[in-house]
Chain A
Amino acid sequence: MSKNILVTGCSRGVGLEICRVLLREGYNVYGIARSYTDEFKVLEQEYIGHLFFKSIDLADSGGVRKSVFKEFVTNDILLDGYVNNAAVAYDDIVTNLNIDRLKAMYEVNVFTPMVITKYAIRNMLLHKTRGSIVHISSISVHTGYKGLAMYASSKGAIEAFSKDTAREWGQLGIRSNVVVPGFMATAMSASLTEEQRAKIYARTSLKAATNVGSVAETVAFLLSDKACSITGQNVYVDNGTI
């Protein structure tokens, strides 16, 4: 029987690539995003009966119990993994910090993923599944960038949450890890100028944008039994950022 994985932010970019890799490896994928994109529909056509979609606004942390776990990934579905990929970036220098925008980002990047983790673990507990949770963080947590202090703080929160989740649930065989990507050429980084990009890439050993496929393959590895002894870790997929 195919394993079931919940992937947030499946409509484009890294999330879509994660879906593609997981489907190729034979998983069933439950994808969530606000928009139901043409690229996602193409994948759905290719993997009929293995890829499912629900449009949910993950800015509503209070609503996900119902919208995700009562109406989409119900207890009848044995959940093997959760990939926390959906996120938004609120970029600005600290002196311009706007508390409403900061809170809105924390809803999507921190509070909702924590609530989804709660119910994902409950599903695993009910079915006694040795599940795997993978969070997508960002290299900005570990290497400072101008304008990313607020965004990086939300990812830092998730890294800490993952480490302690791993410790708490390890005795039941549930694992939690983080993939830390470097800068990738996706919609999220589209507003950067050529000059900014060049500077960012110059700080990497491989002198280029991080490959989205490599990030997705690492997520798939951490979800799989091949990674059965890996938990509480951060795995850097960042072209060797220094």
Chain B
Amino acid sequence: MEKLQLIINSIRKGKNLPELEDITPEMNLRSDLEFTSFDLAELTVKIEDEFDVDIFEDGLVNTIGEIIVKLGK
């Protein structure tokens, strides 16, 4: 969760958005985090680099909770 938060904040920082103090499972990647498809691509590669899991490989992921489930598998 902590590493995921760091990754998310690194992307938000690149977009000049304020860093998040907390992330919660129900947060939506697009509406709450304000991620575009390019930001989501960056998120995917950073998560893959850190956890060796490709979160978008089998279908769309919409929330932080869904990412956590994929990482826990």
Contacts and interface: CB of A to CB of B under 8 A. Distances in A.
Task: Provide the main secondary structure of the chain B interface.
Answer: helix
Interface residues on A, range: under 10
A126 B46 contact: yes
Contacts, number: 15
Interface bracket on B = under 10
Closest 3 CB pairs of A and B: A122-B45, A126-B45, A125-B45
15 contacts: A75-B49, A122-B41, A122-B44, A122-B45, A122-B48, A123-B45, A125-B41, A125-B42, A125-B45, A126-B42, A126-B45, A126-B46, A126-B49, A171-B38, A172-B38
Binding site of A, secondary structure by majority: helix, strand, loop or mixed?
helix
Interface of B: 38, 41-42, 44-46, 48-49
A152 B49 CA distance: 37
Nearest to A126: B45
Nearest to B54: A65
A126 B43 CA distance: 9
Contacts of A75: 49
Contacts of A171: 38
Contacts of A125: 41-42, 45
Contacts of A172: 38
A118 B31 CA distance: 26
A115 to B, nearest CB: 12
Contacts of B48: 122
A123 to B, nearest CB: 8
B15 to A, nearest CB: 13
A172 B45 CA distance: 15
A122 to B, nearest CB: 5
Contacts of B38: 171-172
